[in-house]
A and B are shown apart, each in its own frame.
Chain A
Amino acid sequence: GQNIDQPTEMTATEGAIVQINCTYQTSGFNGLFWYQQHAGEAPTFLSYNVLDGLEEKGRFSSFLSRSKGYSYLLLKELQMKDSASYLCAAGGYQKVTFGTGTKLQVIP
């Protein structure tokens, strides 16, 4: 099975950098996903890590350490529209297990 932990809520200031951590304990691990979900909407894909290290995509970066069962999502130059929930998900071959999500509030 899978067990995924991430903080419930975070607050950050517009223009700043925020790091959202995720730890996982899993069997059959194939990779780590991050999804963004705005209130009342469906989750949308942000990033995927399968090897250790940092993946950068514009203002968003994601890091994975397989040996530590640890990942983080880094959001730079925060904008008000980044206020959303961020879901960490451990991917297996056929299924993906989601964490409960981190609700990020960006304040002026």
Chain B
Amino acid sequence: NAGVTQTPKFRVLKTGQSMTLLCAQDMNHEYMYWYRQDPGMGLRLIHYSVGEGTTAKGEVPDGYNVSRLKKQNFLLGLESAAPSQTSVYFCASSYTGLALKGGTYNEQFFGPGTRLTVL
């Protein structure tokens, strides 16, 4: 199993250009997430999906769009890149189930990340 994969690993864009980041998982997880990680800011949720064909906004959704046409893929799009979107982007997937000791368990499995620079 490859787990969670991300394409590309690195990318440099000019302001105003567009691009799509691809995330794929082979664990049959229902939930998928896109985060960005910036120094001193931790992981911040951009968008997420709880199933094929559904998406929802996270903490920092502005400037990004997503699509989940297939269960195993979650795409993150930047329509008009800005320097403020320079960051490391992580995709994650999870299943949600009942924890043995109660509560809901949703361990997240992360992809290797995409390092994006917008000039």
**Chain A residues packing against B (C-beta within 8 Å):** 8, 30-31, 33, 41-45, 48, 50-51, 87, 91, 93-101
Contacts and interface: CB of A to CB of B under 8 A. Distances in A.
B99 interface: yes
Contacts of B104: 30-31, 91, 93
Contacts of A30: 103-106
Given A95-B58, A97-B45, A101-B42, A43 B105 contact: no
A48 B104 CA distance: 11
Contact of A87 (B42, B48, B96, B113): B42
Interface of B: 31, 33, 35, 40-45, 48, 50, 58-59, 90, 96, 99, 101-113
A37 to B, nearest CB: 9
B58 A43 contact: no
A48 B107 CA distance: 8
Given A87-B43, A94-B96, A50 B101 contact: yes
B41 A100 contact: yes
Most-contacted residue by chain B among A31, A51, A93, A94 (CB, 10 A): A94
A48 B31 contact: no
Given A43-B90, A95-B58, A97-B45, A50 B110 contact: no
A93 B105 CA distance: 8
A97 B40 CA distance: 15
Nearest to A85: B42
A30 B102 CA distance: 9
B60 to A, nearest CB: 12
Nearest to A29: B103
A42 B112 contact: yes
A28 to B, nearest CB: 10
B106 A94 contact: yes
Contact of B111 (A42, A87, A100): A42
B103 A99 contact: no
A71 to B, nearest CB: 14
Contact of A100 (B42, B101, B106): B42
25 contacts: A30-B104, A31-B99, A31-B104, A31-B105, A41-B112, A41-B113, A42-B111, A42-B112, A43-B43, A43-B108, A44-B110, A45-B107, A45-B108, A48-B99, A50-B99, A50-B101, A51-B102, A93-B96, A94-B48, A95-B45, A96-B108, A99-B42, A100-B40, A100-B42, A101-B42
